């Protein structure tokens, strides 16, 4: 039977039940096809249930009439990969997408036609109809009604906020585009539109956004505190698209639509003039605030970074040369996303997984809980003194949210605070707590656990293992201080440290297990796979029924069985040779010497998955070449540049070009290098690290 999807004014539904999904953006045309499924499984392990993806027009029809759906641009194969991995897809059709793409995704030939683009110009609409119809032919038979994974379509992007028709004209244009999409064959449960900054939505389901910083901001200084760290009923982010200076407020009635996000910044893509570095805590605190403000869909842009394809006629990145406000790297679209340019799983994925695991287990009930923001909650992010809090409840139970985090700005410490919640005539009081700068957390009250109820606790719920004995997993670095009413029958409560919770992965074998490991734990068609560096170690609850081949079991850690696997740690020496030193650039050759054991890998259970070249340098930017071919680039941020070498068949030599950064350059950097005579242009460290893949 086909799954049914819908929505009401408060939340999405799945088979007529409240549904709180996690959504993550991955652009198929910016990532190698042969690694799609590995990445999709990583997204799933991070808790993503819905993948969103732009179909970028200039990637598919750079030359008029010559469509390209081959290789990394094979949309149909991508949709099938999403289906094979057990995920859903929201396809973002454009035709204009922004996405830091040349012309916002429009091909040059379309730009030169003289049409009134992004308006109801009949000639332009005919081009859109042809494009939409071509896209539909690629996914025919893969919509939900056919048993496929496509459950939603986004129409356009930021219309009227970042160019195009505005106001009533914009609303009519959105309606016309939706009609063309439906006539082309795109009949799906959800039709969405970006809703921030006064953008037209045409009556479609509005999705919102929010970023912890604004790399597109034209200022070169530290910018004001972001409003995305304040609990508020306001859904709009005034920073998105602020480089365009268009649009205020929103164009739809909050009361008619659920609070959904599609563009919470999973990271930040740096521009040439502004290079903020997004940390896991920046994204985590912002996500918690959105939860506390009533969000019922956490959607991240980007969730997976990538690399721009090489154009046939030009480079394909956003640039000032094409009339856009920013210069982006020609190739790099890393975004410091939860999964990065070369498939690296970052700390951000592990941080966001805390919320994803919670939403998977408790989201259906959370959807029915409205947000109640206390009057004393500060409404401006410049207030760094008063405690920020919010409550979501359904009249019987709920969660208290606290945020004392503001990116790049210190928050006052709150000593011996007694947090309270008024639920009808009852006043619920939590134990005394000290809340320090950078703390953010949420706590349950009146939470049902089996036949008992947790009246209050000083830890956060993570997930439930639904076995014969039901186990509720919580996390936090304070004493749990569970205040229980009733008896726990066939029910157990386990508390993890926050670090262990970030490294926790729920899998299903003969029953449900929680694996705690710094490795990334994937559940694929091959079984349970662990990806990461050495040593190989995991804690498992409950204890595995059979010992995995090649593993040994050591003393238990509390309720968890501890397993280890011997894995010889291989080294990849590197040798750096300076080729060119000039005022314009420096050029280096890096040679890698792979161990013979790596080159002679058989089909054993532990294999090399990738080798990452870590390059530390000082300068404005860097480019990488293999056999003279330009393959990668990077803007300096003070953080190492990582290049995944399996994409390049573990090449043994790579050439790096560095370009100088001059003192006083019109660039915002969080961390400036040490200048030598007013210039920085130097390779400071090179290393190679191996990533292993182990099948249990």
**What confidence tens digit (pLDDT) does each residue in 47-72 have?**
999 999 999 999 999 999 999 999 99
Segment 209-250, tens digit of pLDDT: 999 999 999 999 999 999 999 999 999 876 666 555 444 678
The string of pLDDT tens digits covering residues 450-463 is 999 999 999 999 99
Let me know whether 350 and 456 are in one domain: no
DSSP letters, 661-675, are: EETT-S-EESSPPPP
Residues 291 and 236 in one domain: yes
pLDDT of residue 567: 82
pLDDT at 606: 60
- Kindly state whether residues 558 and 674 are assigned to the same domain: no
- 337 and 484, same domain (yes or no): no
Question: What is the distance between the alpha carbons of residues 519 and 179, in angstroms, rounded to a whole number?
Answer: 46
- Same domain, yes or no, for 240 and 98? yes
C-beta separation of 174 from 161 below 8 A = no
Same domain, 383 and 289: no
219-233, 243-257, 343-357, 611-625: the lowest-pLDDT one: 243-257
Q: In this predicted model, what pLDDT tens digit does every residue of 72-83 receive, in sequence order?
A: 999 999 999 999
Given 488, 523, 543, the domain boundary residue is: 488
Q: Measured on CA atoms in the order 463, 465, 466, 470, is the torsion positive or negative?
A: negative
Report the sign of the C-alpha dihedral through residues 81, 87, 93, 94, in that order: negative
Q: What is the CATH number of the domain that holds 10?
A: 3.20.20.80
601 and 527 in a common domain: no
pLDDT tier at 601, thresholds 50, 70, 90: low
The conformation of residue 85, written as its DSSP 8-state character, comes to T
- Of 336, 362, 388, the domain-final residue: 362
pLDDT in tens, 282-330: 999 999 999 999 999 999 999 999 999 999 999 999 999 999 999 999 9
Give the pLDDT confidence score for residue 252 in this predicted structure. Answer: 86
Q: Which helix (H) or strand (E) holds 179?
A: helix 167-184
pLDDT for the residue numbered 534: 77
State the pLDDT at residue 602: 58
Tell me the pLDDT band of 596, cut-offs 50, 70 and 90.
confident
State pTM to two decimals: 0.97
Q: Which of 84, 70, 86, 29 is nearest to 53 (CA)?
A: 29
> What pLDDT score was predicted for residue 246?
45
CATH number for the domain spanning 663: value is 2.60.120
Degrees, nearest 5: CA angle 397-46-402: 40
Q: How many domains does the chain fold into?
A: 4
SS3 (DSSP) at 454: strand
**Does 231 share its domain with 209?**
yes
- Residue 172: exposure state from Cβ atoms within 10 A (0-12, 13-18, ≥19): middle
Domain boundary among 465, 488, 511: 488
Residues 591-597 have a mean pLDDT of 92
Q: Can you give the pLDDT at residue 597?
A: 81
Query: What is the average pLDDT value for the chain, to the nearest integer?
Result: 95
- Domain match, 409 and 338 both: no
Residue 129 has pLDDT above 90, yes or no: yes
For residue 231, the enclosing domain spans: 5-362
* 556 plus 504 within the same structural domain: yes
Query: What is the distance between the terminal CA atoms of the chain, rounded to a whole angstrom?
Result: 33
CA distances (Å), origin 212, targets 162, 327, 633, 640: 20, 20, 24, 21
User: What's residue 568's pLDDT?
Assistant: 84
Q: Could you tell me which of 43, 40, 106 has the C-alpha nearest to residue 79?
A: 40
pLDDT at 251: 82
Same domain, 456 and 512: no
241, 168: one domain = yes
* Residues 658, 634 contacting (CB under 8 angstroms): no
């Amino acid at each position: 039977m086909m799954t049914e999807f819908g929505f009401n004014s408060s939340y999405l539904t799945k088979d007529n039940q409240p549904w709180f999904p996690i959504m993550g953006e991955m652009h198929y045309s910016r990532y190698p096809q042969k690694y799609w499924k590995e990445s999709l499984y990583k997204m799933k392990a991070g808790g993503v249930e819905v993948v969103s993806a732009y179909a970028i027009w200039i990637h598919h029809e750079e030359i008029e009439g010559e469509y390209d759906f081959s290789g990394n641009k094979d949309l149909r194969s991508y949709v099938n990969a999403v289906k094979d991995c057990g995920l859903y897809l929201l396809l973002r059709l454009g035709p204009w997408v922004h996405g830091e793409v040349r012309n916002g995704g429009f091909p040059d030939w379309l730009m030169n036609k003289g049409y009134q683009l992004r308006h109801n110009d009949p000639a332009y609409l005919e081009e859109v109809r042809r494009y939409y119809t071509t896209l539909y032919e690629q996914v025919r038979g893969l919509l939900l009604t056919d048993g496929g994974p496509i459950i939603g379509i986004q129409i356009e992007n930021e219309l009227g906020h970042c160019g195009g028709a505005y106001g009533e004209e914009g609303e009519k244009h959105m309606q016309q585009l939706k009609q063309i999409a439906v006539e082309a064959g795109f009949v799906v449960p959800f039709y969405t539109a970006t809703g921030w900054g006064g953008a037209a939505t045409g009556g479609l389901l509005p999705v919102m956004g929010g970023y912890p910083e604004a790399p597109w901001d034209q200022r070169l200084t530290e910018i004001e505190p972001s409003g995305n760290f304040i609990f508020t009923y306001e859904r709009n982010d005034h920073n998105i698209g602020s480089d365009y200076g268009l649009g205020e407020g929103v164009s739809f009635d909050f009361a008619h639509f659920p609070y959904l996000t599609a563009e919470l910044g999973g990271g930040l893509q740096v521009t040439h003039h502004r290079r903020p570095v997004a940390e896991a805590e920046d994204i985590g605190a912002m996500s918690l605030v959105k939860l506390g403000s009533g969000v019922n869909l956490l959607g991240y842009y980007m969730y997976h970074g990538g690399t721009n394809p090489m154009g046939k006629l030009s480079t394909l990145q956003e640039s000032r040369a094409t009339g856009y406000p920013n210069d982006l790297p020609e190739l790099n679209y890393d975004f410091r996303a939860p999964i990065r340019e070369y498939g690296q799983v970052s700390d951000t994925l592990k941080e966001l997984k805390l919320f994803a695991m919670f939403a998977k287990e408790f989201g259906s009930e959370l959807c029915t809980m409205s947000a109640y923001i206390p009057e004393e909650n500060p409404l401006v992010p410049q207030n760094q003194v008063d405690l920020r809090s919010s409550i979501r409840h359904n009249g019987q139970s709920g969660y208290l949210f606290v945020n004392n985090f503001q990116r790049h700005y210190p928050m006052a410490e709150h000593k011996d605070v007694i947090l309270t919640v008024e639920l009808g005539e009852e006043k619920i009081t939590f134990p005394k707590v000290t809340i320090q700068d950078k703390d953010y957390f949420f706590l349950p009250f009146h939470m049902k656990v089996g036949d008992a109820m947790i009246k209050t606790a000083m830890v956060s719920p993570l997930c439930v293992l639904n076995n014969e004995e039901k186990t509720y997993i919580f996390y936090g670095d304070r004493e749990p201080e569970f205040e229980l009413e009733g008896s726990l029958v066939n029910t157990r409560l386990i508390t993890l440290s926050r670090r262990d919770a970030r490294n926790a992965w729920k899998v299903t074998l003969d029953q449900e297990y929680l694996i705690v490991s710094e490795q990334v734990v994937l559940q694929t068609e091959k079984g349970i796979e662990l990806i990461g560096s050495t040593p190989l170690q995991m804690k498992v609850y409950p204890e595995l029924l059979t010992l995995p081949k090649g593993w040994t079991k050591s003393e238990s850690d509390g309720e968890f069985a501890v397993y280890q696997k011997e894995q010889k740690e291989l080294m990849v020496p590197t040798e750096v040779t300076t080729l060119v030193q000039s005022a314009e650039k420096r050029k280096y050759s890096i040679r890698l010497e792979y161990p013979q054991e790596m080159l002679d890998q058989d089909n054993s259970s532990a294999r090399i998955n990738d080798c990452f070249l870590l390059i530390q340098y000082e300068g404005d930017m860097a480019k990488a070449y293999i056999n003279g071919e330009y393959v990668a680039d990077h803007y300096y941020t003070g953080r190492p540049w990582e290049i995944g070498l399996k994409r390049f068949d573990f090449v043994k030599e790579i050439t790096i070009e560095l370009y100088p950064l001059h003192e006083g350059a019109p660039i915002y950097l969080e961390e400036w290098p040490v200048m030598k005579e007013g210039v920085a242009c130097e390779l400071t460290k090179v290393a190679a690290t191996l990533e292993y893949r182990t099948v249990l």
